[in-house]
Amino acid sequence: MRPGLAVVLVGDDPASAVYVRAKAKASEEAGMYSITVRLPAATTEAELLQHVDQLNADPSIHGILVQMPLPKHISAEVVIRRVRPEKDVDGFHPVNAGKLLNGDTDGFAPCTPAGVQELLVRCGVKTKGAECVIVGRSSIVGKPMAALMMQDRPGANATVTVCHSRTTDLAGHTKRADILIVAAGRPKFVTGPMVKPGAVVIDVGINRVDDARAKRGYILVGDVDFASAREVARLITPVPGGVGPMTIAMLLKNTVRAAQLSAGLA
């Protein structure tokens, strides 16, 4: 069996196009079957759902990923719910979200939070009993990240605090974190003075910032001010090159597992 991954891209968002190319390249390098369905921005919701239905019915496709964000006239929630849970390798379907919260291991965890956890495990970071502070409460990163880190399993068992835009005294929370995971969507939002000395800092953010000195006219930065945070952190992820590759690795892992499940091998 050759695990098959289909990525659906609607429109011509430059960042999304880069992500899609990276996912296709990685899956092909891993020896997987990979297809990319490119649709114009004017594609209707009904037309997109038709494509999803075709992929749902295709036995050669074990994982389906619809690249976000979608054009404003298409409901992301409707599309996510249309993907069959057993092919939802992005881990966004309500069935998989519910399984994650319940601690069930037969669903799929969202790729970025799963990649962060794998990164912590592979780097030997002690999570059991650690104070883990997550900045950001999105359904893509913050909420599933909290669910993963509080589970009773290796790479978890942490005491979790989730901070967001309504949190008062944010620095008071971040400065007590043994593990600080930042997914705020704001460039260089967390600075060195907000980090506990010796903490492990995971920067999930990726932001394009104009810079006339750069060859492309912009640079990519995270949600953490890397220069100041690295002075106090024990470990810190760079942007780019930190969490991003882990997200793609977990996408491939989920797809392989989806293929195994379809064959009754997992």
Q: List the beta bridge partners of residue 37.
A: 8
Distances (CA, A) of 152 to 40, 105, 159: 44, 12, 11
Assigned token pair, 118: 């794998």
Residue 199, helix vs strand vs coil: coil
Please pick, among 88, 90, 203, 225, the residue that the annotation labels catalytic: 90
Cβ-Cβ contacts under 8 Å for 25 (sequence gap 6 or more) = none
Could you confirm whether 117 is annotated as catalytic?
no
Quick one: which of 192, 190, 222 has its CA closest to 209? Answer: 222
Peptide bond into 240 cis (omega under 30): yes
Distinct helix (H) and strand (E) counts, the chain: 9, 10
Could you confirm whether 67 is annotated as catalytic?
yes
Could you confirm whether 223 is annotated as catalytic?
no
Quick one: which of 101, 113, 49, 39 has its CA closest to 77? Answer: 49
Q: What are phi and psi of 192, to 5 degrees?
A: -50, -45
Residues annotated catalytic, as ranges: 23, 67, 90
